[in-house]
Amino acid sequence: MERSSVTRKTGFWEVVKSLLSGLQLTWRHFRNADKRRAPVPVMDDNYFNQPEGLVTLTYPYEAIPVPENGRYRLHNEIDDCIVCDLCAKICPVNCITIESVKATEEIGMTSDGTKKRLYAPVFDIDMAKCCYCGLCTTVCPTDCLTMTPVYDFAEVDIKNMIYHFTDLTPEKAEEKKQLLAKQQEEMAAAKAAALAARKQQG
Amino acid sequence: MLAFLLTLMLLLGIVIVLAYAERKVAAFMQDRMGPTEAGPFGSLQSVLDVLKLLQKEDIVPAAADQKLFKLAPILIFAAVFAGFAVIPFTPDLIPAGIGIGVFYLLAIISLDVVGLLMAGWGSNNKYAMLGAMRSVAQIVSYEIPAGLAILSVVMICQSLDFQEISYQQGILLNRFPGLEFETNWLFGIEALGINTTNIGGITTWNIFRAPILLVAFVIYFIASLAESNRAPFDIPEAESELVAGFHVEYSGFRFAVLFLAEYSMMVLVSLVAVILFLGSWNTPLPNLTALKFANWTTGTVGELSGILWGGFWLLSKTFVLLFLQLQIRWTYPRLRVDQLMHLCWKVLTPVALGIVLLAGIWRLLMV
Ligand code: SF4
Ligand code: SF4
């Protein structure tokens, strides 16, 4: 490749010219100060382009539109969650904590028609640990765990970074646990009775 | 006393606007937004800054020379403010109309240097000391080309009175006592035979009356940047190396006074540039046959219209120059000390000397 040396321009008029071009540059920026970045959607061709104008964003008052399916804060639609624990298992940083309680009867259906058989007294996601990899959302069989376009959720107290998604109050959860225990007791009793009956027969 | 208070009010007003403009202009040139929160578009920012400064503790370093340290800001501001005494704001409004205004101004703002040295020495701080030394060296040096540029104007105008120099640059020429029978010729040369006495406007400004003064104006403007410690000649307070130069130890009210003095200096040198070179309070619009722009935009001397038009033109021209000062600050990098001295002693001073000579010859052509 041929390299051309940069010749240094000297002389009075060259200096004047370079001084003036400097002023021209600042003047151009000053004149373009009435232009701002337009809030164009992500699909726009100019999304990553800002040829001129002020670049400052007065953030809390205005924000750049973000992609609808970007990796931001997680949300769990607990009504659709079947508490299968897949998300907690795949999470590389173990930030999802799920406790499950078997239901004594069928609870209902998710919106895609899967039967729900488990309660989730605890469904916590620690957003401070989450690395927003999105793996949990891909494994979720009912698509109830999703990422939302919310990215501004800083907290003063780090405990508030743990999001509780469960829809059961602690009392309700206790009640369900007791129901389950009672059912299991009954079942065990029934089983024992059946066993005893069979033994008698035999 | 009234003149004192009015001038002080006016000055404070201009400085507040200037401090706000400085931040906004700087921001816009760097594609930022500048202050936005205080008041509409952040316009109360500089007022709040002043209020904040006044609430701050007034710290005097234990090792400082108390007397010098405390006196310096007052002396600096007094020296600059005294310069405003001879500035004609309108055709008949001048705080102190003395005949040797130009001479007085040059003398009184040189006192500034003493204050700077007191501040730097009294602070007992190496940054302050270095800043003050640089500042004094720079101001004393640049007073020479600035003085020579002003001298060439004085030679053309044959007067040391700011008001007389102002009257000479417009259609009111013959209204000044002693100039009743003077005439302005295009480029100052009678041989061209174009009488501009009643055309006025830009054609009678000093830079037009004697085009050689255009060069003097450029020299004066560069030197005035250095005298008010503005970029690219801001080595006395070079933030990146000296923290803040001579006022690094000051806080609270004293800092506010120093700050005020610095901005007043900018305003003062711009005012002087406007008065000496850019037609003072005269309108830039000339009379063109039937369209008497100059008459319309001059008002009547002695009446409210004359005062308003005069003040308007003077201040708007001054603000143009101030804007240029700001723009230069945000455009050019700072000069090194040796480059600064080189520019002053080996470029500006010889050229200014040449201008003085040429101005003398021009004056001979004018009469
Ligand atoms: S996004 Fe990744 S890190 Fe965050 S909870 Fe889901 S799997 Fe865990
Ligand atoms: S993978 Fe989806 S359905 Fe399963 S527990 Fe997690 S959120 Fe609920």
DSSP state of B90: B
In whole angstroms, give the CA distance from residue B176 to residue B163.
Answer: 9
Mutate to test the pocket of ligand 2, among A145, A146, A165 (most ligand atoms within 8 A of CB): A145
Torsion region of A85: left, alpha or beta (phi above 0 gives left; psi -120 to 50 gives alpha): left
Helix B304-329 × helix B252-277 angle, to 10°? 110
Hey, are the CB atoms on B33 and A26 less than 8 Å from each other? Answer: no
Distance CA A11, CA A46 (A): 42
The CA–CA distances, whole Å, from B246 to B119, B142, B222, B276 equal: 6, 18, 22, 31
pLDDT band at B308 (very low <50, low <70, confident <90, very high): confident
A196 at B interface, C-beta within 8 A: no
Q: Which of A109, A119, A59 is nearest to A80 (CA)?
A: A109
pLDDT reading at A2 higher than 70:
no
What single-letter DSSP state applies at residue B345? I
Phi then psi for B268, rounded to 5 degrees? -65, -50
The minimum CA-CA distance between A35 and chain B, rounded to whole Å, is 10
How many CB atoms sit inside 10 A of residue B244's CB? 17
- A54 contacts B31? CB cut-off 8 A: yes
pLDDT number for residue B353:
92
Summarize the confidence of residues A1-14 as an average pLDDT.
72
Contact B246, B237 (CB under 8 A): yes
Q: Is the pLDDT of residue A1 over 60?
A: no
Q: Which residues of A33-53 are buried (b: 16+ CB within 10 A; e: fewer)?
A: beebbeeeeeeeeeeeeeeeb
Q: What is the pLDDT of residue A3?
A: 65
Question: What are the angstrom distances between the C-alpha of B216 and each of B88, B151, B156, B234, B272?
Answer: 21, 9, 12, 22, 13
Cβ–Cβ gap A30/B31 under 8 Å: no
Report pLDDT for B354.
92
Residue B367 has pLDDT above 70, yes or no: no
Reduced to 3 states (helix: H, G, I; strand: E, B; else coil), residue B67 is: helix
Tokens encoding B69:
């340290």
**Cα maximum dimension of chain B:** 71
Alpha-carbon distance of A105 to B71, in angstroms, equals 89
Higher-confidence residue of B49 and B195: namely B49
Rounded to a whole number, what is the distance in Å from the CA of B222 to chain A's nearest CA? 13
pLDDT the model gives residue A90: 92
Q: Torsion angle, CA of B128/B133/B134/B136, rounded to 10 degrees?
A: 120
Res. B97: pLDDT tops 80: no
pLDDT at A192 over 60: yes
pLDDT at residue number A109: 83
Tokens of A58: 């007065």
Under a CB-based contact definition with an 8 Å cutoff, are residues A85 and A98 in contact? yes
In this prediction, residue B186 carries a pLDDT of 73
CATH number of A74-180: 3.30.70.3270
Q: Is the pLDDT of residue B48 over 60?
A: yes
The residue type of B303 is: E
Tell me what the mean pLDDT of segment B127-139 comes to: 85
Q: Return mean pLDDT, chain A.
A: 85
Atom 6 of ligand 2, residue of closest alpha carbon: A87
Name the residue ranges covered by the structural domains of chain A: 11-65, 74-180
Provide the β-strand partners of residue A108: A116
Using CA of residue B353, residue B358, residue B361, residue B363, what is the dihedral sign? negative
- The pLDDT tens digits for B242-252 are 677 778 888 88
Q: What is the pLDDT of residues A41-74, one digit of tens each?
A: 888 888 888 878 888 888 888 888 888 777 888 8
pLDDT in tens, B152-183: 988 888 888 888 888 888 777 777 777 777 77
Share of chain B above pLDDT 70, in %: 98
Confidence of residue A5 (pLDDT cuts 50, 70, 90): low
Please give the residue that has the higher pLDDT: either B140 or B287: B140
Q: Which of B33, B36, B327 is facing A26, going by the closest CB pair?
A: B327
Neighbours of A5 (CB within 10 A): 5
Cβ separation B31–A58 shorter than 8 A? no
pLDDT value for A176: 85
Mean of the per-residue pLDDT values for chain B? 84
Interface A–B counts its CB contacts (< 8 A) at: 37
Ordered by start, the domain boundaries in chain B are 1-55, 60-366
Predicted complex: ipTM over 0.90: no
Atom of ligand 1 nearest to the CA of A71: 1
pTM (2 decimals)? 0.80
- Mean pLDDT (whole number) for A116-136: 88
What gap in Å lies between CA B174 and CA B292, rounded to an integer?
17
In this structure, what are the phi and psi dihedrals at residue B184, rounded to the nearest 5 degrees? -100, 130
Q: What is the mean pLDDT of residues B298-325?
A: 84
| Count of other CB atoms within 10 angstroms of residue B7 | 17
B27, pLDDT greater than 80? yes
Tens of pLDDT, residues B241-297: 767 777 888 888 888 888 888 888 889 999 999 988 888 888 888 777 777 777 777
Task: State whether residue B30 sits within 8 Å of chain A by CB.
Answer: yes
Residue B68's closest CA among B116, B133, B108?
Answer: B116
> Is the distance from the beta carbon of residue A145 to the nearest atom of ligand 2 less than 6 Å?
yes
